[in-house]
């Protein structure tokens, strides 16, 4: 199947700093990528839909100024957690669709963010 790569897999930062997480589709082009957040023992919560060449679409309740999303190319989307606080500590996962809108969705390995 298609491969989606996330980097870094783990990051620890101090409160108030910003952290960037990258999501790459390695063997296909993804015009749309999705960013999810997962709390311990919970399912995934969609944060935003990242569209190549345009602004991201954020889900209700997600602060767009805190979670900056950039989708500058067909193979790369980035999520920047700005002025991170301990409550932002979480597991962040990106996904991308291979081809058709009704095609299979592939996920990255996730990024564990810990804010001290």
Partner 1 sequence: KQEVTQIPAALSVPEGENLVLNCSFTDSAIYNLQWFRQDPGKGLTSLLLIQSSQREQTSGRLNASLDKSSGRSTLYIAASQPGDSATYLCAVPTSGSRLTFGEGTQLTVNP
At 23, list the tokens.
Answer: 């999501």
- Closest distance to partner 1 from the beta carbon of 78 (Å): 17
Q: Which of 75, 84, 106, 113 binds partner 1 (CB under 8 A)?
A: 106
Contact 25, 33 (CB under 8 A): yes
State which of positions 41-80 bind partner 1 (CB under 8 A).
Answer: 42-44, 46, 49, 57
Contact 19, 111 (CB under 8 A): no
Other CB atoms within 10 A of residue 59 CB: 13
Contacts to partner 1 by CB under 8 A: 1, 4, 6, 32, 34, 42-44, 46, 49, 57, 91, 93, 95, 97, 101-110, 112
């Amino acid at each position: 199947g298609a491969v989606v790569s996330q980097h870094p897999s783990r990051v620890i930062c101090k409160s108030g700093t910003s952290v960037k997480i990258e999501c790459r589709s390695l063997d296909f082009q993804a015009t749309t990528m999705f960013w999810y957040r997962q709390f311990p023992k919970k399912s995934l919560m969609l944060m935003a839909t990242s569209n190549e060449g345009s602004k991201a679409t954020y889900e209700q309740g997600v602060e767009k100024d805190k979670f900056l999303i950039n989708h500058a190319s067909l193979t790369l989307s980035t999520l920047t957690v700005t002025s991170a606080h301990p409550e932002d500590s979480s597991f962040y996962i990106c996904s991308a669709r291979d081809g058709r809108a009704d095609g299979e969705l592939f996920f990255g390995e996730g990024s564990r963010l810990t804010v001290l």
